Structure 1
């Protein structure tokens, strides 16, 4: 591998990105000294009652907190706040989290009942409820000023980690405006490049893993929406991860996605993403498996692992998101995909982030301002790659945390197990009935995005034949129910797996007869 920072003893960068938790939700009541966190003095008021920040968050939320762009405006700027079209973001005092949770309907389903309103202010007893996360945070570096890249939902924030831009998107994918989001070839950045393109240009290898243990639709990686990243061709099941690390592993960068659970029924249960309505247990197990696979492999001493979250999921956080440098990459200002004419000049809410390496001291608390563009910024400075936008050009990287002259020898080889209460909750959720096949699917949200990943894959398998492309697009446009979505996911995944098997067989032909 060609590095322009030879003093940096890292050859392999790994990133695991989970779902929808604020920094305070995970760490405010961890007891880890030195963190900038909420206390019971931080509170929101709604309908004449004060709701303070507190501990012992529930294993899972009863309803999905709002986290669309318009929800986050209210959460940060106060009850009823909205962004004037093209205007400044507004005064931020983090006072609208309870009001938004109590009233938002953006995630579908009824709002929570009043006895649950205050749960949006609660943080986990990290040491006991999230023992895997706590052990890593206290053994390596926890970053208490890592913000999501924009005050909005999952998909645009995940685009930022791959390309330091969301291409102008602030919203979740919607069926009606999908044409503005996805070309036949997939999501394309205005700059023309993702971090994977940059790595390709430098002849540096990369690898993507998706947790396939869970629902089929939930195992589709969001990163496969990008142009140049092919589902099942460029993505591998996480079950192969530990074994792959034991052999030659010539990949400069590895990105890992969780299983998103029940995306067709919009409950997200049964996954490993740590979605608010699901247990944290399988996500803790995925973190544990990721760390242990790297820790007990030949690449450990020259590795760097970042565990973070795409956005805050509607959970309270006490820190004001600061101003941010806009990407300035020519992203369109399109009202179909950008609510309120947002200029991408403000970071989103803080999210948890842990940076792990044997070259990092034990128990480091890092106050550096980061966002998801810090991931490509780290790779760019490590390998001499050109930035894609002004956001990653100006973003801080994490290389300064690698302060030790030699690898530590006291890093744990095995981590704690997930909390029993969370494991029991996950097992109970797994027994709940699946949504009926005739249940309608929502017109916007994660499932619509995953359907486009499947359509992109289908088109790639059809080799871009115009008639086939038209037929595929028409077929996906007609998908309206859970049963239809799941059937299409099965069909495309099967075809993609067959294509991958054929490709692997062609690259490793059997020896000649008689040899």
Structure 2
């Protein structure tokens, strides 16, 4: 499968008509089938003092990189978006950072991509009917619950998660199916052939639960697929009450950081991921506008398939580099390796020591005003992960004085919230007068894919990136994946902004190539909607108007101590963690066994990952 062979032809107007293809922004209920630890001192002290660092000071590897490339804050002339009339705010108060010289827009774009959550799962309950900004609509779950039939004649409704705090924050558990055949069942309700319901993905047979040609997604198969995934993972049939997890989601008070930023800046209610499949494929679409024909992470050739010559498609990083525009990828200090760098090894390996940096360098660059034009942030995906991916394994339950107490507060959505709080707070406090700062930096929060969690909006048709030939599992890449949460934060973004543009994972590339006059990568990103709809103000909001965020708890600091907490040695890795270790094993060629637990992953990455990425 060549890099250009992702699928067969549908017209671009199908992609731009995402709202119509998806059943309409407000009509999707019918289309979808419904009735209606303590941190260490290093990072904390850095955030405390770094925000008032003198502009232009050079600290750390990333800052040195920015200075050496001599592009720094001077890259770009704006987002290219027109300010929306009637959205101006008061002039910037004296003593604060001056407005961006180029007017509305941004010079530095920071993207943090979390893992495996749908729009409805995290943001579906963001607004109640009576809370919407005046004149606005929102494609969420406000109003009557959506009802879906499940196995054994029982029906289920969309609802907010219930249970103990730790149970809620680690929901859904077990992890839903995210691979292409599972997504087919979720969207179309199909299991074809029927025996696929009791098979692992690698064992499934044609047509891999794909529907007949011309079928439209009903969004009514989530409960049935969760039943099948539950049975395959835990080896037993779920109870009716356990199946309720399939349609659960979070409320704003459960996610105070994410919901605050979504309401006080801009939320996209129509951002779809690139392919109805798993992590690697969607992360590849985000930066390469293709998954090289793949719809699985490691089936049909193992993780090493991502290193084939057919997977050597250029990325937007390559386009930026050719044009002399600065960029960087930041990975967790304790993880040592970058998933982005490994997925795109054929075209990015030569940059592993020049453009890839640990997160400590990110915070230094934010504080010093030396962010590159484009910065991509990866959460921690291994032990004690803060990527918001649903945990794998059992919840710890003990009894204290006859009362059941649920453990396992690490590695749930609160850890991701704490990371987002740190990133946002660092950008909010950045005050360089000569480089990147809060006035000229946009922070984009997005997720790679829905991870099997429920969403009610059918994915629209899409332009295949390649020549139209079928790829892995015969998918033709003529439809997008499901909606994912996406939030844009900038000084030129009005509070309460809801962007309805039909954006998708090709939009990041389209935005960057359009801004800097670069060639598109594939037909998918060529002309795709940009993120410029989040630039809504003529005058910037002063930082004093930006909210302060308050995560529910501060997770432990694995960089400052043993990254595997005592008693958690045997916790299993999530799929992103396992597959990241698979990429590392394939790259090194080691005969060491592929790690399955947190402790094994720590030992493996210390032995084989140190020194692969970052300044030498």
| TM-score above 0.5, yes or no | yes
**What is the CA–CA distance in structure 2 between the aligned matches of 1:250 and 1:25, rounded to whole Å?**
32
**What is the CA–CA distance in structure 2 between the aligned matches of 1:106 and 1:375, rounded to whole Å?**
37
Q: Kindly indicate whether the alpha-carbon contact (under 8 Å) linking 2:595 and 2:604 is maintained by their aligned counterparts in 1.
A: no
Q: 1:26 aligns with which of 122, 129, 133?
A: 122
Whether 1:66 and 2:216 are equivalent positions in the alignment is no
* Equivalent in the alignment of 2:496: 363
How far has the Cα of 1:48 moved from its partner? Answer: 0.6
**What is the CA–CA distance in structure 2 between the aligned matches of 1:138 and 1:130, rounded to whole Å?**
12
* Equivalent in the alignment of 1:276: 390
Q: Kindly indicate whether the alpha-carbon contact (under 8 Å) linking 2:184 and 2:190 is maintained by their aligned counterparts in 1.
A: no
| CA pair 206-112 structure 1, distance change in 2 beyond 3 A | farther
* Equivalent in the alignment of 1:221: 339
Superposed, 1:120-199 pairs within 5 Å as: 120-126=246-252, 128-174=253-299, 176-183=301-308, 187-189=311-313, 193-199=314-320
How far has the Cα of 1:225 moved from its partner? Answer: 2.5
Q: Kindly indicate whether the alpha-carbon contact (under 8 Å) linking 1:378 and 1:398 is maintained by their aligned counterparts in 2.
A: yes
SS for the counterpart of 1:306 is strand
Whether 1:36 and 2:139 are equivalent positions in the alignment is yes
The answer to which of 237-246 and 163-172 deviates more is: 237-246
Gaps of 5+ in 1: 263-269, 459-471, 504-515
| CA pair 492-187 structure 1, distance change in 2 beyond 3 A | farther
**What is the CA–CA distance in structure 2 between the aligned matches of 1:112 and 1:434, rounded to whole Å?**
28
Whether 1:240 and 2:361 are equivalent positions in the alignment is yes
* Equivalent in the alignment of 1:400: 533
Alpha-carbon deviations, 1:124-150, whole Å to 9, x = none? Answer: 112x10000111011111010001111
**What is the CA–CA distance in structure 1 between the aligned matches of 2:541 and 2:451, rounded to whole Å?**
35
Q: 1:117 aligns with which of 243, 257, 260?
A: 243
**What is the CA–CA distance in structure 2 between the aligned matches of 1:411 and 1:123, rounded to whole Å?**
32
Q: Kindly indicate whether the alpha-carbon contact (under 8 Å) linking 2:329 and 2:355 is maintained by their aligned counterparts in 1.
A: yes
* Equivalent in the alignment of 1:489: 605
TM-score (norm 2): 0.68
Q: Kindly indicate whether the alpha-carbon contact (under 8 Å) linking 1:79 and 1:95 is maintained by their aligned counterparts in 2.
A: no
Q: Kindly indicate whether the alpha-carbon contact (under 8 Å) linking 2:280 and 2:343 is maintained by their aligned counterparts in 1.
A: no
| CA pair 351-250 structure 1, distance change in 2 beyond 3 A | closer
**What is the CA–CA distance in structure 2 between the aligned matches of 1:107 and 1:296, rounded to whole Å?**
47
Whether 1:433 and 2:568 are equivalent positions in the alignment is yes
**What is the CA–CA distance in structure 1 between the aligned matches of 2:489 and 2:387, rounded to whole Å?**
20
TM-score (norm 1): 0.80
* Count of residues in correspondence between the two structures: 456
Q: Kindly indicate whether the alpha-carbon contact (under 8 Å) linking 2:595 and 2:601 is maintained by their aligned counterparts in 1.
A: yes
SS for the counterpart of 2:439 is helix
| CA pair 449-246 structure 1, distance change in 2 beyond 3 A | closer
**What is the CA–CA distance in structure 1 between the aligned matches of 2:76 and 2:492, rounded to whole Å?**
20
* Equivalent in the alignment of 1:447: 578
* Equivalent in the alignment of 1:48: 153
Alpha-carbon deviations, 1:277-300, whole Å to 9, x = none? Answer: 241111001111111111111321
Q: Kindly indicate whether the alpha-carbon contact (under 8 Å) linking 1:45 and 1:95 is maintained by their aligned counterparts in 2.
A: yes
| CA pair 432-198 structure 1, distance change in 2 beyond 3 A | same
* Equivalent in the alignment of 2:331: 210
Q: Kindly indicate whether the alpha-carbon contact (under 8 Å) linking 1:154 and 1:311 is maintained by their aligned counterparts in 2.
A: yes
How far has the Cα of 1:261 moved from its partner? Answer: 3.2
Alpha-carbon deviations, 1:196-246, whole Å to 9, x = none? Answer: 000001100101111335xx48x6434433121455653222133222122
How far has the Cα of 1:303 moved from its partner? Answer: 1.2
State the Cα RMSD in Å. 3.2
Alpha-carbon deviations, 1:455-494, whole Å to 9, x = none? Answer: 43x4xxxxxxxxxxxxx3x636x64765776544212223
* Equivalent in the alignment of 1:259: 380
SS for the counterpart of 1:228 is helix
* Equivalent in the alignment of 1:467: none
Higher RCO, 1 vs 2 (CA within 8 Å, ≥6 residues apart): 2
Q: Kindly indicate whether the alpha-carbon contact (under 8 Å) linking 1:261 and 1:273 is maintained by their aligned counterparts in 2.
A: no
Q: Kindly indicate whether the alpha-carbon contact (under 8 Å) linking 2:219 and 2:458 is maintained by their aligned counterparts in 1.
A: yes
**What is the CA–CA distance in structure 1 between the aligned matches of 2:181 and 2:577, rounded to whole Å?**
17
* Equivalent in the alignment of 2:203: none
* Equivalent in the alignment of 2:462: 324
**What is the CA–CA distance in structure 2 between the aligned matches of 1:105 and 1:306, rounded to whole Å?**
33
SS for the counterpart of 1:394 is coil
How far has the Cα of 1:374 moved from its partner? Answer: 0.7
Alpha-carbon deviations, 1:312-351, whole Å to 9, x = none? Answer: 11111111111111112x58745xxx12x11111111111
**What is the CA–CA distance in structure 1 between the aligned matches of 2:601 and 2:231, rounded to whole Å?**
21
| CA pair 24-406 structure 1, distance change in 2 beyond 3 A | same
* Equivalent in the alignment of 1:15: 111
Q: Kindly indicate whether the alpha-carbon contact (under 8 Å) linking 2:187 and 2:220 is maintained by their aligned counterparts in 1.
A: yes
SS for the counterpart of 2:169 is coil
| CA pair 30-7 structure 1, distance change in 2 beyond 3 A | closer
| CA pair 8-322 structure 1, distance change in 2 beyond 3 A | same
The answer to which of 240-249 and 173-182 deviates more is: 173-182
SS for the counterpart of 2:487 is strand
Gaps of 5+ in 2: 1-74, 81-101, 163-167, 194-205, 392-410, 559-563
| CA pair 14-66 structure 1, distance change in 2 beyond 3 A | same
Q: 1:300 aligns with which of 425, 438, 443?
A: 438
**What is the CA–CA distance in structure 1 between the aligned matches of 2:440 and 2:186, rounded to whole Å?**
41
Q: Kindly indicate whether the alpha-carbon contact (under 8 Å) linking 2:584 and 2:609 is maintained by their aligned counterparts in 1.
A: no
| CA pair 205-240 structure 1, distance change in 2 beyond 3 A | same
Alpha-carbon deviations, 1:141-171, whole Å to 9, x = none? Answer: 1010001111111110000111111111111
